Chain A
Amino acid sequence: MRFMVIVKATPESEKEGALPDPQLLIEMGKYNEELVKAGVLLALDGLHPSSKGARVKFSGESRTVVDGPFTEAKELIAGFSILQVKSLEEAIEWVKRGPNCSPGGDYEVEIRQIFEMEDFAPILSEEEIQHKVKRRAELPNQTASK
């Protein structure tokens, strides 16, 4: 299963033209490398401050564009990554190992599961699974035939 790891913004990440601290970049690089080596990191991107973005508000048929910046840093997103792991708990474990991107302040990282095909597929009952296991076991040379 896949999770989107959403790193919330901080006042620093929202600053115009602000680049992260070099030491922090090294730590983040090391952490991301660990994720790659473990085979769990699928994608990763950082976002410019909201001053370079816009919002499109939907109301019935009307669309209103609001240019950034936006207030309420903690409601904003500063970056995201996509992890492929076995459980929410595993995603949590990986996220907890990351460096603090805002050593002085507080911020949050939100973990959300991505919809996959299995979420829409019918799931077999335990009985049906056991039936399949039994039938499969009767076949000669299951995996060796490949």
Chain B
Amino acid sequence: MSAADPHHATHHALHRTIEAVWRIESARVIAGLTRLTRDVGLAEDLAQEALVAALEQWPQSGVPDNPAAWLTATAKRRAIDLFRRNAVAKRKHEELAHELEAFEQTSPDLDTALDNTIGDDLLRLVFIASHPMLPTESRAALTLRLLGGLTTDEIARAFLTPEPTIAQRIVRAKRTLADKHIPFEVPRGPELAERLSSVLEVIYLIFNEGYSATAGDDLMRPTLCEDALRLGRILAELTPTEPEVHGLIALMEIQASRTRARVNSTGEPVLLFDQDRTQWDQLLIHRGLTAIERALRINSSRGPYLLQAEIAACHARARTPSETDWPRIVILYTELAQLTPSPVIELNRAVAVSMAHGPQAGLTLVDALASEPSLARYHLLPSVRADLLYKLGRHAEARTEFERAAALTRNTRERDLLLTRAASCETDPTDP
């Protein structure tokens, strides 16, 4: 292509450069415009129009020295035009006057205005995109679109969802924000914790969507992990004194460090204890551990993300599974279970207890979960129980539990594994 059609190649390269500039600048541009227009939907439309203008003009004029300022100024001019037109059509004069006045105030030196408040505006944008008023899936799409600079098509491919569905989610979300007059602000006081947890939930959801992708998936899916990490890292710099933000980043960095080891060459998942730990990404582990330290420097009380990160860190620090600090994991799971009680966490705690204090101690905890209705069809309960019974030499009971687990799992490979283990109980000579 490049040799035969240099013009086309140049045009293509410039297009990719503009895309890159957009990726870098779009969140800041949209955040600044939202403050000016008080309407995140309008701000995004204006920013998009500015992008279209850039695609038309930059091939002739070249990329400007300060592309963010160019995009914002272009979008702002369009906003003023739009307000003038709307004024004639339907807007109240005083309202318009007020808005234009707001524009005038910021117009003398847009760069300075942007630089001084950009952090605040970005944070406001983070909070509004994850507003609890919106359904979770819309929050994820809107966050990726407004803060990650992803196109609707990219989001659709990443979530394995048709593009019109994503487009509609975004449109509806923007309309909800406008209709409900959701303010463009950073929540204060007791509201902050609740709103922040909504933001963290969205970022972790995006991460998990990418993390659950398999090797054969479209490349857009695994890159969601990178998008989530980038969003998390941005948030960490915007809210450096929030320990849970660093906790979430630590959790994501450490989980992402295992990406190379968690699937085998045919794309099948590999369990944590069977992973080749030399494949773990030490740079990401180091970043995760640093984020944990950062969180603990703020205060010593640990929230759910930080606790999960610390559990992940216990595994990350162990060069072999046998070096795992199980007593510490027990302490962390106990704290986590107190903070966010859940039968699944309790089951994980039981496994940790069995590793730290022997299978009988673990079995006592697992048996206490036997009547838990939410675990009635959860294959890991009989699977864990079977393993502990096996370790205790109660092979006949172990076999029954392995078979029960096999009947409950929907994963064929896992079922095969469980049935193999059930069969091994039968042939064992020590079976009482």
Contact = CB atoms under 8 A, between A and B. Distances in A.
A142 B24 contact: no
B260 A142 contact: no
B66 to A, nearest CB: 10
Given A92-B17, A142-B137, A144-B136, A133 B230 contact: no
Contacts of B162: 133-134, 137
Given A36-B237, A117-B259, A143-B209, A132 B217 contact: yes
A124 interface: yes
A136 interface: yes
Interface of B, helix, strand, loop or mixed by DSSP: helix
Interface in B208-237: 208-209, 215-219, 222-223, 226, 229-234, 237
Contacts of B208: 146
Interface in A111-126: 117-118, 121-124
B57 interface: no
Interface in B155-184: 156-157, 159-162, 165
B216 A42 contact: no
Contacts of A92: 17, 20
A32 B136 CA distance: 34
Contact of A90 (B23, B165, B216): B23
B156 to A, nearest CB: 7
Contact of B21 (A93, A118, A143): A93
Interface string B10-44: 00010011011101100000000000000000000
Interface of B: 13, 16-17, 19-21, 23-24, 119, 135-137, 140, 156-157, 159-162, 165, 205, 208-209, 215-219, 222-223, 226, 229-234, 237-238, 259-260, 267, 283, 287
Interface of A: 1, 36-40, 42-43, 82, 84-87, 89-90, 92-94, 117-118, 121-124, 129, 132-137, 142-144, 146
